[in-house]
Structure 1
């Protein structure tokens, strides 16, 4: 028997590849299926089942394409109603893969169809739990995403989650290995640990949600401090439930090279958003006017979903050369399939053609320190609230990037302000959006708070973020 965790950092997502005696199962696969096909061929095994823990909201699963290519059956837990052929398992139903068994545990609460999969080895020992979004390391699945579909409040869903965890998962043996669907950085939880694998016994000791005195306290603990889910989540659920275009079709369409002239013409007539995925330092020096920067070198896919929102939005890409395929792939993982093409030769081709360029007014943290000394200035910190509360520049306003579409309209266009995040990644996204909306009277700080912390700029007292989260 072999269990392989295939972890994708930019999504903080774990897929699982399980092999026993010439047969395989894959749990929660990513959109691009070729890596799985390659593994199956290399191991000379046949894919028997594709297990889906639930209808995912934060990424588009590869279940539909993978089933078409391998003839493997897709398996969901009870109450699921996909618009394609699938096995809807009963609670406690057992599936055989080689000499091992995979038992379905219906664990509703995150969503109504949410299920965990318990692996029983060839000796009959319960070995591993693939817990989906029901149980994370350090946290549990948020109970607010399925309210509309279930006609329930988040408190009612949290109550179901309590029963799932305390009646079905906590009684399991401490030695069982927990393999969750997500880790730290995912918007599907609020307090996840950085580790991606743990024992159930350790989670029983360290996970706050598994140490509540009663159902009422559990509901309060897991619903307290929940931030609104990214707006694209519902669209991803729909794609996972209804099906989608094949990844190969999406990739072929997106890899359409455009000259600067064709790129400009298409931008003017298609209503496409120009997405520049170069790193923030290169973007600051020069970019195509009206383009939005979301760097490929950070949490790219989740930020695309949070800021662009509409998965059907036409997109034109500007990437570093040879990064086009990687960019289209990552966009497809969160359902953004409508890429019309990319700028051939990257930004340098645009610049060499003599077309108009724009840039961001960026200064160093040292210059920032000099500029604000003994002056009354406005400073906007776009980090998360927990980061801001841990430590921030005195008198700075906290305006998290995730809510920019709400707070941008309250800015006074004639009032200058300074803009920063933790290291420059998020503040450059904010800067590009501000410029695209016509706000130009601001200065972005290179290196963000990490650089500012090395100066004598007045700051609040430091408070550990873990204490802030609690």
Structure 2
């Protein structure tokens, strides 16, 4: 029996292909199913069963299209109301796929109807458990995505679901979650790339704390929900349309200039330093090479707004399109390909300064009234920030630009990625940003090393 991991780093998720005896089972597939089909071909496995642990909140599922494409049975939790034919599975059901058996366990918490799948071989020996958004590595799935009125109930349910997994499964059972590798579906940060039920019994908060402590700490630690999450559940319940990975319509320089002049969302995919050194005025920088690209495009761009990509190569644009369709951004206004100089057709490029925390410290010493913007989330800010800095999380900045005082604005975040988005938003608004390119918490080059870190009470 072979268990293959299909990693989607941009969303912090994993899908799985289990193959045995020429038969394949797929768990929680992403929307770009070509990856799954290619892997199944490599394993010489015919996919006969596709399983969903829940209606996902952080991506558009490829399960329905995959099942239809290969003629497989499609298993979805019975409690989820959907607009398509599927096998509705409930606690205790057993699904067969060749020599494999998958027992359904109702593990509510991440959602009301969430299930896990216990994999056994032909002899009934447990081989693995696929836990979706229930038991993660050193954490659990967040419990506030269904709605705030359900959070307390679901957090208690999550506690008991994780404990049930430990009570009913052998300690050596490998655990394969779908979330928790950078996904905002995790309630708290996860740890490690593999684990077993027995290992989780020693480290998972749901298994090392009493129920009320677990509930209180999980709820207190919940962070902001990415804006695009609200569209994923309804899309998955309705039945996603087949994925389209074709190249976006080519946008020529004259049309690109019009889109920029209209203030549309024109996204430059280059590195943040390359963008800072020269870009088309009005463009915004969402660096494709960083795993968080799709998260922050989905979070910041108003749903349904026209998006035009600027890529250096067709391959870069294709990679961005693949990332975006995973969260249902299917219809792009188009894409321009080439260097900023070529696309500018003689117009002057814009630029802004790039520095680091040492440079910020020197600038603050020279100008005590220097405007410094912290673009991190509230939970990060709670651990401290640059003294005297203004805190506006990146996902709120577009609506709060008027809250930023006039003058030069030095902007930082946890790594430099969100700061680059913030700097480009400020530049588009006619401000003069300085990008602090570096990690706030970096030991040797971060804020503390530059003497800038202040505790929350003094920030």
**With structure 2 as the length reference, what TM-score do the two structures score?**
0.91
Distance 1:428 1:91, change over 3 A: same
8 Å CA contact 2:24, 2:47 repeated in 1: yes
Distance in 2, matches of 1:409 and 1:210, equals 47
2:418 aligns to what? 426
Alpha-carbon contact 2:56-2:233 (below 8 Å) kept: yes
How much does 1:143 deviate? 1.1
SS in 2 for 1:323: helix
1:336 maps to which residue?
A: 329
Q: 305, 312, 326: which one pairs with 1:313?
A: 305
Paired positions, count: 451
Matched, 1:37 2:7: no
Deviation at 1:461, TM superposition (A): 7.2
- Going from structure 1 to structure 2, the CA distance change for 1:375 and 1:42 (only over 3 Å counts) comes to closer
1:277 aligns with 2:273: no
Compared with structure 1, are the counterparts of its residues 191 and 443 closer, same or farther at alpha carbon in structure 2 (3 Å cutoff)?
same
Corresponding position of 1:300: 293
1:239 paired with 2:231, answer: no
List aligned pairs for 1:201-212, cutoff 5 A: 201-212=198-209
Aligned to 1:467: none
Q: Deviations over 1:214-264 (max 9, x none)?
A: 3x333212211212311110111122111233223xx22x43222212333
> Which residue of 2 is the match for residue 468 of structure 1?
none
Per the alignment, residue 323 of structure 1 pairs with: 316
- Provide the residue aligned with 2:438 in structure 1: 447
- Superposed displacement of residue 395, structure 1: 3.2
The structural deviation recorded for 1:393 is: 3.2
Write the distance in 2 (CA, Å) between the matches of 1:455 and 1:90.
52
Write the mapping of 1:101-116 to structure 2, written as runs, cut at 5 A: 101-116=101-116
Instruction: Report deviation, 1:340.
Output: 2.2
Mapped partners of 1:455, 1:370: distance in 2: 14
What is the CA-CA distance between 1:326 and the residue it aligns to?
A: 0.6
Does the CA contact (< 8 Å) of 2:407 and 2:431 recur in 1?
A: no
* Inter-CA distance 190–360: structure 2 relative to 1 (3 Å threshold): farther
- Consecutive unaligned residues of structure 2, counting only runs of 5 or more, are none
The CA deviation at 1:304 is 1.3
Give the conservation status (yes or no) of the 8 Å contact 1:209–1:222: no
Per-residue deviation, 1:387: 4.5
| C-alpha separation in 2, matches of 1:285 and 1:233 | 34
Alignment-derived partner of residue 27 in structure 2: 27
Matches within 5 A, 1:394-409: 394-405=387-398, 407-409=400-402
Higher mean Cα deviation, 63-72 or 341-350? Answer: 341-350
- Contact 2:137 2:195 survives alignment (8 Å): yes
SS in 1 for 2:435: strand
8 Å Cα contact 1:131-1:179 kept in structure 2: yes
Question: After superposition, where does 1:90-105 map in structure 2 within 5 Å?
Answer: 90-105=90-105
Q: CA RMSD in A?
A: 2.5
Structure 1 residues 460 and 344: CA distance shift in structure 2, 3 A: closer
Higher mean displacement: 34-43 or 324-333: 34-43
Does 1:5 pair with 2:1?
no
Between 198-207 and 235-244, report the one with greater CA deviation: 235-244
Measured in 1, the distance between the counterparts of 2:18 and 2:445 equals: 47
SS at 2:294 equivalent? helix
Residue matched to 2:341? 348
**Match runs of 1:208-219 below 5 Å:** 208-214=205-211, 216-219=212-215
Q: Tell whether the 8 Å contact from 1:279 to 1:296 is kept in structure 2 after alignment.
A: yes
Hey, what's the Cα distance between the residues in 2 that align with 1:349 and 1:68? 44
- Quote the offset at 1:391 in angstroms: 6.0
The corresponding residue for 2:154 is 157
Q: Are 2:224 and 1:225 aligned? A: no
How far did residue 180 of structure 1 move?
0.7
- 1:289 corresponds in structure 2 to 281
Number of the residue aligned with 1:196: 193
After superposition, the Cα gap between the structure-2 partners of 1:355 and 1:244, relative to the gap in structure 1 and judged at 3 Å, is farther
Tell me how far apart the structure 2 counterparts of residues 161 and 67 of structure 1 sit (CA, whole Å): 29
1:394·1:458 contact (CA, 8 Å) conserved in 2? no
CA separation of 1:170/1:306 partners in 2, compared to 1, >3 Å: closer, same or farther?
Answer: farther
Q: Contact 1:170–1:204 at 8 Å: present in 2 too?
A: no
